[in-house]
């Protein structure tokens, strides 16, 4: 029952303020808070290690200079225990990172330690008493509302208890001995005034920390909300421009088809060799423009549903290789297959087109006399297909940029083939990556979810 009561007291309090209660935090709000708390806590646990030699030196001095056994025992237990706690928190942070309960756990030790050290070094007259005000600020900043109230109550109770013990001489040996020629301890009235002022200042410091936390949270909320609005506007504008450009591309296909058809009709009537050559160039350029428009339309239109089923990537790879034997022979490139059964859960029509795209890129990049290899295997629970060439390879830093629309290494490329290919791979739940090959060239690796035994076709 006591454990349940303590959990209710230390649980995070409800949202403060009508704005927090009514408005859910924007995306990224809690993640940014956690990252910043983790960064602050990491600095704290590292800086605290510097206190360990100070604690040990202070304990050695008290053990040698102070005649009171209770003070030596108290500090002899607390200071080594605090040092071990600092070391354990540092090791835990390095091993596990920041945990949600770390702030409260360390605040409990800090408040308890400040009261213990203040009691052992003079009570209300201790030079460590003002630290109670300093510790109230992080309690307001980082702890929950209920936990902050509990810590404030503990601080005030400890301050008042030490003032009562000093005033009514409940512990006559609580204060430190005055130095030779120094003034004696202060009267009870001044001690109570100090205790009351410290209590009030601790409460004010806790309130300041809480207000600062709410202010920072409100600023972060507004910044993230403004960012989200800007991104939403950008996405809407991008969708409008994409739809408009797709419509323009679609409208351009009809006149291009007319130009291509007219050029074929004119071809028999042209007798001049130079004019016939120019007409052939015109037809090839029209065909290239049509290809670019088709790629753009595939890139801009939404992905269509997939007809998923159990497909062997090795069989698809053999089909694709057979389709490109003529092109490989024409370019003087040897095409080599190394296929192992690789059952994948995919749409065979889409994946076949994806492999055609990758193999054509490899053949176009390969110099005469080189070899393009096509491999399939099951690795890491995924069905994989690899296309390896000995071309010029990717320039450093282009491994991911080539998947951006418009980025291409070809002199006459559109920069849309690879983005569409990766988009298709990720629609299947897989991925497509390019990397430099040892000895020169490029490796294109397609990873798809492996198909379980007995998997049947389905739409996704």
- pLDDT tens track for 337-367: 998 888 998 888 888 888 888 888 888 888 8
Helix (H) / strand (E) element for 235: namely: helix 188-266
User: What's the rounded Cα separation, in Å, for the pair 291 and 294?
Assistant: 5
Q: Is the per-residue pLDDT at 448 higher than 80? A: yes
Q: Return the DSSP state at 457.
A: -
Residue-wise pLDDT tens digits, 384-415: 999 999 888 766 655 566 666 655 555 455 55
Which pTM was predicted? 0.48
The residue assigned the tokens 């600020």 is 137
Q: Determine the pLDDT at residue 76.
A: 77
Sign for the CA dihedral angle at 371, 448, 424, 233 comes to negative
Sketch out the chain's domains with CATH numbers. 2-175+187-231 (no CATH), 307-459 (3.30.565.10)
Give the pair of three-digit tokens for residue 20.
């927090």
User: Which of the given ranges, 16-30, 133-147, 390-404, 443-457, has the highest pLDDT on average?
Assistant: 133-147
**Which strand (E) or helix (H) includes residue 344?**
strand 343-346
Helices and strands counted in the chain (H then E) = 14, 8
Do residues 75 and 96 lie in contact, with contact meaning Cβ atoms separated by under 8 Å? no
Q: What is the b/e burial string over 377-396, where b = at least 16 CB atoms within 10 angstroms of the residue's CB?
A: bbeeebbbbbbbbbbebbee
Of 198, 213, 212, the residue nearest 155 (C-alpha): 198
For residue 68, give both structure tokens.
């009171």
What is the distance between the terminal CA atoms of the chain, rounded to a whole angstrom?
Answer: 51
């Amino acid at each position: 029952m006591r454990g349940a009561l303590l959990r209710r007291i230390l649980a995070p309090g409800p949202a403060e303020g009508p704005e927090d209660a009514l408005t859910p935090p924007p995306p990224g709000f809690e993640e940014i808070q956690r990252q910043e708390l983790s960064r602050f806590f990491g600095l704290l646990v590292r800086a605290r290690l510097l206190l360990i030699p100070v604690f040990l030196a202070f304990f050695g001095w008290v053990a040698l200079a102070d005649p009171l056994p209770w003070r030596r025992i108290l500090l002899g237990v607390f200071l080594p225990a605090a040092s071990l706690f600092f070391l354990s928190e540092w090791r835990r942070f390095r091993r596990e990172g920041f945990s949600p309960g770390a702030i409260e756990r360390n605040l409990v030790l800090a408040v308890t330690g400040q009261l213990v050290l203040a009691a052992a070094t003079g009570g209300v007259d201790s030079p460590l008493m003002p630290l109670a005000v300093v510790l109230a600020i992080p309690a307001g900043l980082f702890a929950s509302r209920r936990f902050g109230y509990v810590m404030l109550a503990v601080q005030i109770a400890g301050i008042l208890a030490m003032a009562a013990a000093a005033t009514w001489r409940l512990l006559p040996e609580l204060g430190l001995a005055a130095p030779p020629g120094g003034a004696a301890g202060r009267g009870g009235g001044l001690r109570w005034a100090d205790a009351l002022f410290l209590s009030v200042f601790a409460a004010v410091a806790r309130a300041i920390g809480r207000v600062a936390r709410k202010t920072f949270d409100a600023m972060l909320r507004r910044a993230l909300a403004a960012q989200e609005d800007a991104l939403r506007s950008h996405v809407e504008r991008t969708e409008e421009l994409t739809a408009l450009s797709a419509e323009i591309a679609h409208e351009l296909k009809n006149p291009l088809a007319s130009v291509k058809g007219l050029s074929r009709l004119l071809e028999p009537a042209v007798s001049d060799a130079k004019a016939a050559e120019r007409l052939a160039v015109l037809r090839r350029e029209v065909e290239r423009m049509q290809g670019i428009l088709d790629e753009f339309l595939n890139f801009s239109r939404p992905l269509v549903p997939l007809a998923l089923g159990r497909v062997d990537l090795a069989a698809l790879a053999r089909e694709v290789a057979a389709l490109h034997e003529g092109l490989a022979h024409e370019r003087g490139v040897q095409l080599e297959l190394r296929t192992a059964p690789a059952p994948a859960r995919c749409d065979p029509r889409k994946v076949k087109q994806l492999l055609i795209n990758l193999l054509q890129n490899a053949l176009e990049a390969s110099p005469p006399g080189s070899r393009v290899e096509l491999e399939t295997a099951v690795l890491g629970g995924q069905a994989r297909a690899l296309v390896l060439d000995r071309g010029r390879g990717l320039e450093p830093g282009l491994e991911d940029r080539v998947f951006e629309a418009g980025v291409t290494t070809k002199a006459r490329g559109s920069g849309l083939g690879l983005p569409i290919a990766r988009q298709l791979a990720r629609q299947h739940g897989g991925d497509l990556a390019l990397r430099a090959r040892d000895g020169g060239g490029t490796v294109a690796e397609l990873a798809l979810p492996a198909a379980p035994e007995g998997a049947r076709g389905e739409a996704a």
